[in-house]
Amino acid sequence: MNVDCQGDVGVEPSGDKDHPSSQMLCRECGICCDGTFFDFAPIAPVDGVVQIKNSGITTICDEGTKFTLPCAKFDQVCTIYHLRRPEVCGLFLCKLIHMHDKGEISFEKGLEIIRETKAHKKEVEAIYSAAGVADGAKLRQRHGSLLRSQAEFPTDERGVLIAAYDAFERRILRDFSKARPIEEVRRPHCSPLDRRGGEDIISIL
């Protein structure tokens, strides 16, 4: 039976992590894995649905072309980072990793940004939970629920919630969105654990 993916924002390949320290930052982060801004990720032909399921990722949707996020193998960090994982996981390149690869930010600064972003997300989630906004759903879905239910929240409270989410969204767009153009990262494929190449640039919103 086919299951349709819920949501319309997906991860797209955009590069790879050039340095071991970039891989460490990537694993420490997980914002592309945990459903913060992506609803699904594509399954490449080289992956195969059976292989994806064998890795423990069982949330397959849209006729086996995607898997939903949060990823089933994400538990604070990616639990299969050094194993065979979906191709998109190795090809995805966010702005923070790109800046680190270019030497524009240090490993320590990248780690600081990641930790501050995670703390910021928890703060916004706490505000939404206290207001009773679709508790349990992903933050972006909770925000959408807020926007669709104007009559359920006083104007002032609604304004505080929207402002809190917008501030977090600006942080994500500033520090994590928009990787380098794909023309800069097309290279021959290498090992299955660190594939290089890509099809497109990342688009978060």
pLDDT at 118: 95
Q: How far apart are the C-alpha atoms of 161 and 166, rounded to whole Å?
A: 9
List the chain domain ranges.
Answer: 20-184
DSSP 28-58: HH-TTTTTSS-SEEEPPTTT-HHHHHHTT--
pLDDT at 174: 92
Residues of the chain with pLDDT under 70: 1-19, 150-151, 178-205
pLDDT at 187: 31
Classify 66 in phi/psi space as left (phi over 0), alpha (psi -120 to 50) or beta. beta
Angle between helices 107-130 and 139-148 (to 10 degrees): 40
**pLDDT, tens digit, for every residue of 156-184?**
899 999 999 999 999 999 999 854 433 33
Is pTM beyond 0.75? Reply is no
CB of 137 within 8 A of CB of 34?
Answer: no
pLDDT at 7: 53
pLDDT at 150: 67
pLDDT at 11: 47
pLDDT at 105: 93
> Could you say which DSSP state residue 24 is in?
H
pLDDT at 108: 95
pLDDT at 155: 81
